[in-house]
């Protein structure tokens, strides 16, 4: 934590900083067009192994 006493920081200020943290913490994800799972954009989907309609990884499909 910072060196600023807690009482001196307004609620709005602290919450705003928290919001920035959240944004930095989570990478933006997109929905995989192939399996609809959340994936890192411009990367091979970890769930189905597809990227831009091409299967780069061999993933066993088929959910029980
Ligand atoms: Zn996928």
Please report, in tens digits, the pLDDT of each residue of the chain (64 residues total): 668 777 777 777 767 776 666 666 666 899 999 999 999 999 999 999 999 889 998 867 666 6
- Predicted local distance difference test score (pLDDT) of residue 32: 93
62 alpha carbon to ligand 1 midpoint, in Å?
Answer: 13
User: For residue 28, what is the DSSP state?
Assistant: P
53 alpha carbon to ligand 1 midpoint, in Å?
Answer: 9
Residue 21: closest CA among 2, 41, 6: 2
Residue 44 lies in a domain: yes
Residue 60 lies in a domain: no
14 alpha carbon to ligand 1 midpoint, in Å?
Answer: 37
20 alpha carbon to ligand 1 midpoint, in Å?
Answer: 29
Residue 5 lies in a domain: no
* Owning domain of residue 40: 11-55
40 alpha carbon to ligand 1 midpoint, in Å?
Answer: 10
- Predicted local distance difference test score (pLDDT) of residue 36: 95
Per the structure, the count of domains in the chain is: 1
As a whole number of angstroms, the longest Cα–Cα distance in the chain is: 56
- Predicted local distance difference test score (pLDDT) of residue 25: 66
- Predicted local distance difference test score (pLDDT) of residue 45: 94
- Predicted local distance difference test score (pLDDT) of residue 4: 72
């Amino acid at each position: 934590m910072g060196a600023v006493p807690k009482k001196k920081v307004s609620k709005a200020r602290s919450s705003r900083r928290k919001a920035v943290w959240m944004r930095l913490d989570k990478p933006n994800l997109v929905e995989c067009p192939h399996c609809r799972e959340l994936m890192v954009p411009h990367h091979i989907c970890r769930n189905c192994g597809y990227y831009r309609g091409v299967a780069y990884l061999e993933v066993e499909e088929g959910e029980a």
